[in-house]
Amino acid sequence: MSEPRVYGSSEMTYNDYLKVPELLNLQHRQSEPPHHDEMLFIIIHQAYELWFKLIIHELSSAMDHMKRLEVLRARHFVHRCVEILKVLVQQIHILETMQPVEFLQFRDRLTPASGFQSMQFRELEFLAGLKEPRYLQFFKNRPDLTAILQARLDGPDLRSTYYDMLRGLGHSVPENASDQERAGDAEAMEQIIQALIPLYRSPDSQLPLYLLTESLVELDQFMGLWREHHMRVVERVIGFKKGTGGSSGVEYLRSTTSKKAFPLIWEVRTHLSL
Ligand code: HEM
C-alpha cells in the first residue's frame, strides 16, 4: 500500500480547499434550550441555498452558450440543473421526519423570516424568465439585494436568450419575443408556437435543438414538482396556518404550482398533429 497522504504544512488540504471548518460553523440554533430538530431545519435550508447557487451558476453558462448558438453545450448545463432539481425535489421530504409539534416548539423563533426572503430562489425564477416585480417588496429594506434582483429583472433571461438563439438559428421567432409573450401578445405567441412545431414534428432533423428544448421543459417540470412537494410538506407540518412571511401559506403555495417559464413549449404539444 502506498504511503497515506497526511496533513502537510504547506500543501492544499481537503478542509482548506472546501472551507469545511467555516461551513460547519454556520449552524446556529435560535431556540433555547437548542431544539434538536432546529439543526435539521437550518441544514436543509442551507443545503438548498448551496444548490441554488450552483443552478444560477449553471444557467448563466447555459445562456452564454445559447448566445453563441452552441446548442449542445447549452443543453449540457441545463441538463445538469435538471439533475440537481431532481435531488431537490426528493430532499424536501426529509422534513416529514419532523413532527408538527416539534416544529411548533421553535417556529416562533423564525418569525418573520420566510422563504419569501430567499434571494437566490427569486434570482433563479427571474433568471429562468419568471419575472414578477411584486416579489421585490420582500427586500425593500435591503437596497443592495433589491439592486441585484432589479438587474435580474431588467437583464436577459433563459427564455429571452432561448428565443434569440432560435432566431439566430434561422427560426421565425419575433424580435423581443419573450417581452411580447409576457405582455400577452397573442399574435407573437402564435408565431412562436408555429416556429416550434416543425421541431416537434421531426425531432431527429434538429436533434441538438430538440434536446435543449426538452431540457428547458424538464427544468419547468422539476421546478413545478419542487413547488408541489414543498407545498405538501408544508401542509403536513403546519396545515393551513399562515406563513411566517405573511402569506396564506398552503393556499398561496398552491397558486404557484402552475408557474412555467416556458409555457409555449408546453403548449406546442397541444397543437401537434401528424
Ligand atoms: C417545515 C418546513 C417548511 C415550512 C413549514 C415552510 C413554509 C413555507 C410557507 C408557509 C411559505 C409561504 C410564504 C410565507 O408566508 O412564509 C414558504 C415559502 C417558501 N419556502 Fe418554505 N417551508 C418549509 C421548508 C422550506 C425549505 C426546506 C425550503 C428550501 C429552500 C423552502 C423554501 C421556500 C421558498 C423559496 C419559498 C418561496 C416560494 C414562492 O414564493 O414561490 N421552504 N414556505
Confidence label for 102 from pLDDT (cuts 50, 70 and 90): very high
Domain 31-110+157-271, CATH class in plain words: mainly alpha
Closest ligand 1 atom, residue 252 Cα = 12
Report the residue among 234, 236, 241 best suited for mutation to probe ligand 1: largest number of ligand atoms under 8 A from its CB. 234
Q: 125 C-alpha vs ligand 1 centroid, how far in Å?
A: 15
Closest ligand 1 atom, residue 244 Cα = 16
Task: Flag whether pLDDT at 79 surpasses 70.
Answer: yes
Q: Is the pTM of this model over 0.85?
A: yes
**Alpha helix segments (H runs only) across 68-185:** 71-91, 100-107, 119-128, 143-154, 158-168, 177-182
- C-alpha distances (whole Å) from 112 to each of 100, 108, 109, 210, 247 are 19, 8, 9, 44, 11
Pocket of ligand 1 contains residue 256 by CB under 6 Å: yes
Pocket of ligand 1 contains residue 122 by CB under 6 Å: no
Closest by alpha carbon to 122, among 141, 136, 112?
136
Pocket of ligand 1 contains residue 253 by CB under 6 Å: yes
Q: 22 C-alpha vs ligand 1 centroid, how far in Å?
A: 26
Each residue's pLDDT tens digit, 145-157: 999 999 999 999 9
Residue with the smallest CA separation from ligand 1 atom 22 is 234
In angstroms and rounded to an integer, the radius of gyration of the C-alpha atoms of the chain is 22
pLDDT score of 20? 97
Q: 115 C-alpha vs ligand 1 centroid, how far in Å?
A: 4
pLDDT score of 1? 65
Q: 114 C-alpha vs ligand 1 centroid, how far in Å?
A: 6
Pocket of ligand 1 contains residue 37 by CB under 6 Å: no
pLDDT score of 169? 97
Pocket of ligand 1 contains residue 114 by CB under 6 Å: yes
Contact 244, 250 (CB under 8 A): no
Q: 13 C-alpha vs ligand 1 centroid, how far in Å?
A: 36
Task: Flag whether pLDDT at 256 surpasses 90.
Answer: yes
Contact 139, 145 (CB under 8 A): yes
Contact 231, 257 (CB under 8 A): yes
pLDDT score of 8? 66
Pocket of ligand 1 contains residue 249 by CB under 6 Å: yes
Each residue's pLDDT tens digit, 185-218: 999 999 999 999 999 999 999 999 999 999 999 9
Question: Which triple of cell numbers denotes residue 48?
Answer: 438548498
Q: Where in the chain are the domains?
A: 31-110+157-271
Question: Which triple of cell numbers denotes residue 223?
Answer: 421546478
Closest ligand 1 atom, residue 92 Cα = 27
Higher pLDDT, 1 or 157: 157
